[in-house]
Amino acid sequence: MRLAIIGAVLLVAGAVAVVTGALPLADLAALIDRVAPILLFVVAMTVVTELASEGGVFLWTARRLRHWGRGYSVVLWLFLAVFATLSTIFLSLDTTAVLLTPVVVGVTRQAGLPPLPFALMTVWLANTASLLLPISNLTNLLAQHSLNGISPAGFAALMWAPSLAAILVPVVFVGIVFRRDLRKRYSRIPVVRIRPDQEFGEGSMPATADRVLLGATALVLALLLPALVSGAPVWIPALAAAVVLGVVFALRRPRVLRVSLVPWSLLLFASGLFLVMETARHLGASVLVGQLAGQGQGFLDLVRLAATGAAGSNVLNNLPAYLLAEPLAQTPQRMAALLIGVNAGPLITPWASLATLLWHDRLVRMNVLITWKGYALFGLIVAPLTVLAAVAALAATGT
């Protein structure tokens, strides 16, 4: 609700800017042409992933990862780290934060393991693993447009090295800090003997016994993922997948199809934010940011730009931080550095990324207590290390 209220206020402010001429109509039209397909993709993918979750895809996968962990918590933790990474890369950071978090917590609780190292790893990877593909993060889709519609393969070629570094640093940090917890063993239970009430508590996702829905959602995802990286406009396969899953659920579980599947609050917030940030850029806010971000292609120049993006994300939020600094990233390397800052840097304050707030909300519902003070203290260590390592990887590859 608070997100929707903020979005409504931003939309009103944007409307005032248009009416008063602070944001010219030509710029407004260009903004709509740019962001409308992106927002359509976000809505369609949200519906797809929510229905995939209802179909049991995430739960089915996590159950098998727990079984394959063979009673070793560190093995299960690594399996779930890979799962969170792939979920973020191919389904976006919000999917990992919102839908995977309850599954991860439920799996660890059923195994009798402390959820903190698993939950912390999930939210950090939701942010830091979102560098590799345009579909991984809303900022990446905006950057793809600024890079003259670079192909997914070209984007991955630019971002693979910093993406790998941004994944490894948080994983290594959690592994070191929580090494005692990760040495524990847990009882192996055959997958077929696990009951829903053993695995999930109040506020978490229910299990599903509908094999048709499970198979259908898995098939749709298997066909969707290559389509999203084929180079076609991403909103087209995402919308097609949402329609197909909508038909399947209408036949098998119609009660799931509700208006709340559409992320109205996020849509309202993003639309208002785009309007306000475009107005701010038109009035010269990016010039002020440029005094912090600097220019140049050298390693220290890239670190400076990435640090500006990371600082702006933790002070404001990663999306406005990106929008304000975007005009300063005129080359692929500088754009990559900016994305490192706004994607891998928002690990300190709770509002730095929407995914972090959504993640914490899921933990509260499941009675998993993580204080923001402790989260910020960890973030003050891991965020600079991650950003620095990712920029170093970018500079080293010379892409």
Instruction: Write down the pLDDT at residue 2.
Output: 76
- The predicted-structure confidence for 145-201, as pLDDT tens digits, reads as follows 999 989 999 999 999 999 999 999 999 999 999 999 999 898 866 544 444 444 444
Task: Please tell me the predicted confidence (pLDDT) of residue 147.
Answer: 93
Q: What pLDDT is recorded for position 190?
A: 54
Residue 342: which of 322, 357, 316, 315 has the closest Cα?
322
| Confidence (pLDDT) at 196 | 44
Task: Summarize pLDDT for 47-67 with one digit per residue, the tens.
Answer: 999 999 999 999 899 888 998
pLDDT band at 206 (very low <50, low <70, confident <90, very high): very low
Q: What mean pLDDT value characterizes the chain?
A: 89
Residue, of 111 and 206, whose pLDDT is higher: 111
Q: Is residue 283 pLDDT above 90, yes or no?
A: no
**Average of per-residue pLDDT across 249-276:** 90
What was the pLDDT predicted at 320? 92
With tokens 């402010």, the residue in question is 13
Residue 281 is predicted with a pLDDT of: 85
Domain ranges of the chain: 2-397
What's the pLDDT at 172? Answer: 97
**What is the pLDDT, as a whole number, of residue 202?**
38
Distance CA 81, CA 122 (A): 7
Task: Specify the residue for token string 């727990």.
Answer: 66
pLDDT tens, 310-337? 999 999 899 999 999 999 998 999 999 9
pLDDT at 285: 82
**Taking the model in full, what pTM does it have?**
0.89
Q: What is the gyration radius of the CA atoms in the chain, in angstroms?
A: 21
Question: Residue 203: pLDDT above 80?
Answer: no
Compute the C-alpha angle 350/385/172, nearest 5°.
90
For 293, residues 6+ apart whose C-beta sits below 8 A from its C-beta are 304, 305, 308, 309, 325, 328
Half-sphere exposure of 240 (CA within 13 A, CB side): 12
Most confident segment among 254-268, 278-292, 330-344: 330-344
> At CA 118, angle to CA 112 and CA 119, rounded to 5?
110
| Residue 70 falls in which region: left (phi positive, over 0), alpha (psi -120 to 50) or beta | left
Q: What is the mean pLDDT of residues 137-142?
A: 94
Query: Region 63-85: what's the mean pLDDT?
Result: 92
Given this model, what pLDDT does residue 361 score? 86
- Run of H or E residues at 125: helix 116-128
pLDDT band at 369 (very low <50, low <70, confident <90, very high): confident
